[in-house]
Amino acid sequence: MSSHEPTRPDSTPDSTPDPTPEAAPNSDDGSTSDDDATFTIDELAAAAGLPVRTVRHYQSEKLLPAPQRQGRIAVYHRAHLERLGLIAQLQDRGLRLSAMRDAFKRVEKGELWLDDWLGMGDQLRAPWSEERPVVLTEEELAERVGHRVGIVALLVEGGLVRRQRGLSPSYLVLSPGLLDISLQLEAAGVDLETAAGAASIMRKHLRRASSDLVDHFLDRAGAGFARRGSAADISEALEALRPLGARAVQLIFVQEIERALRETVEQGHSAPAPPPTPGPESEPAPESDPEPDPEADPEAASDLDVSDLDDNDPTPAA
């Protein structure tokens, strides 16, 4: 069955054609418009470039409207084909099927305009920073770190750069800003391993805090966040939140690090004492000659002074 011809029930050559057409003509010549085209499930899957089992899966997930029935045949329309195309677009955006199902329900109820919803998705995915990973040649990275021997290996070990496979040596710098910060800290006496550990601590806690904040804002959408909670209102709130949120994180971090340092001092914790500076090596004291053992050396016993012996003790005086 062609995608541009209506679906007709099976009939024998001798049967009388059904006087009621399945698709109303839209022109004087009796042709059928694309909007009135109908499909079997096999034809629908072929037109969408999908396996039939995928179309059935979307039906089971309530992502496709129910087809019409002509006897035992399920008949699909252009709207079903357009819905499959929309599902493919949303999957490319990374949306889950459950999120699509909820959005389609709201669209059908008139609670959501799909274009606004898609625009809000783009807004949610918009970057909050202009920083992007960069690829540096071996010479470019060496210049960036000041041609210091061994530091590139430390950067790779700390996860700040990654070696790229290829004919010519190159390195992927995931965050040029964090690389520069680490190098500045290293120049101030904070080695790369310590800086990487600090970054890991911050990332672990900020990852959790960021997820909690997103849940907090979404729970209050239309009731304290983003005015009425429409797609346009949420987009406006997020646009303001980008610069202000980054500034708030910086201010809160400064306040909390001041508090932690102040408590450290109040609790009597002091910085560890520096290791002692080694002084000039002193010459070892000369070893004294051991006194002779008379039992081990009989000849040495004859050299002992008689005055060193006690009348009641046959051994030499101590």
Contact call for residues 44 and 55 (beta carbons, < 8 A): yes
Residue 87 inside a domain? The answer is yes
99: domain range? 34-112
Residue 301 lies in a domain: no
- Domain assignment present for 159: no
Residue 104 in any domain: the answer is: yes
List pLDDT tens digits, range 203-224.
Answer: 999 999 999 999 999 889 889 9
Cα(first)–Cα(last) distance of the chain, in Å?
Answer: 123
Q: Is residue 101 part of a domain?
A: yes
pLDDT tens digits, residue range 137-148?
999 999 999 998
Pairing state between β 38-39 and 161-164? unpaired
Q: What is the pLDDT of residue 304?
A: 44
CA–CA separation, 277 and 175 (whole Å):
39
CATH code of the domain covering residue 65: 1.10.1660.10
From CA 181, how far away is CA 158, in angstroms rounded?
Answer: 13
> Is the residue at 60 inside a domain?
yes
Residue 284: inside a domain, yes or no? Answer: no
Is position 29 within any domain? Answer: no
Give me the number of domains the chain comprises: 1
Output the pLDDT for position 3.
Answer: 41
pLDDT score recorded for residue 96: 87
Rounded mean pLDDT for each run of 10 residues along the chain, 318 residues in total: 40 38 42 70 94 94 91 92 90 84 81 68 81 94 92 92 88 95 95 94 96 92 87 86 94 96 87 62 55 53 46 48
pLDDT attached to residue 75: 94
